[in-house]
Amino acid sequence: MSDSNLIVKAHEADKEGVVLTVTPESAGWEYVGFQVVKLAEGQVLRRETGSNEICLVLLSGKADVSTKLQTWQGIGERMSVFEKIAPYSVYVPNDDVYEVKALTNVELAVCAAPGFGRYPARLIEPAHVSIEARGYGNIERRIHNILPEQESADSLLVVEVFTPDGHWSSYPPHKHDRDSLPDESLLEETYYFHVQPEQGFAIQRVYTDDRSLDETLVVRDGQTVLVPKGYHPVCAPPGYEVYYLNVMAGPTRTWKFHNDPDHAWLMTKPRE
């Protein structure tokens, strides 16, 4: 698999405002779907969820959002992901409908995975998003847990990560590509990137133990990386801050990862 297959680039907005799409069919996997939609003020996106549950993440902008039974008006606070305040999001189950009306220009992430109708639609407010610092030194990064496994969903896991310039994240390298609980879970994953300043780039390596997959990717602002398997660390070059939104799903909704044995010693390195 080459880097051209792992990087999904944005395109001109279609009539719905869609600028980037990942489906299970296009990615060659089973569970995760992902879209980025850019809506102009006043534009409306309306869809049925079908067999998928959906997590709508307001990456930036303000909107009214409704489902079959619920309406939330004027949600959204940040105008850029780099304001680093937690986002507003809406969980929508399968066999439902959602409508998003943009009150400003909006960048919306549409995260999708199989739904089983266990949970009703709900608003995920910033106050319900746990925030943590993970790592130490130049592997420290900021985590916003939008839809972690402790919160209700059928399949989806959604988190966003802020990596300071010169730092690494998703590090030490880890993977989750074996359905081998309790040691490791099988989770497909997408990384949606923003870079500040936007002319910069991130570096992401995706590789397996046997190196049958071993790619080092140069990722630009607004691009998505597919992680079908293997380890997948990220680096933010000096001078450029890197944001990414992760969407994960698999046969079991739990995040159990395995560190690359060559680099696992970093977990026990004394902190200075």
Confidence band for 2, pLDDT divided at 50, 70 and 90: very low
Q: What average pLDDT does the structure give for the chain?
A: 96
Question: What are the pLDDT digits (tens) for 197-213?
Answer: 999 999 999 999 999 99
Give the domains, in start order, of the chain with CATH numbers.
7-266 (2.60.120.10)
Which of 263, 253, 200 is closest to 231 using CA atoms? Answer: 263
* Residue 99, C-beta contacts closer than 8 angstroms, at least 6 positions apart: 44, 45, 46, 64, 65, 66, 67
Handedness of CA 38, 31, 26, 192 (dihedral sign): positive
State the pLDDT at residue 1: 41
d(CA 40, CA 60): 12
Q: pTM for this one?
A: 0.95
Q: What is the mean pLDDT of residues 224-247?
A: 98
Question: What are the pLDDT digits (tens) for 38-59?
Answer: 999 999 999 999 999 999 999 9
Which of 200, 236, 202, 196 is closest to 216 using CA atoms? Answer: 202
Partner residues linked to 52 by β-bridges: 114
Q: What separation in angstroms does the CA of 194 have from each of 70, 212, 240?
A: 31, 28, 10
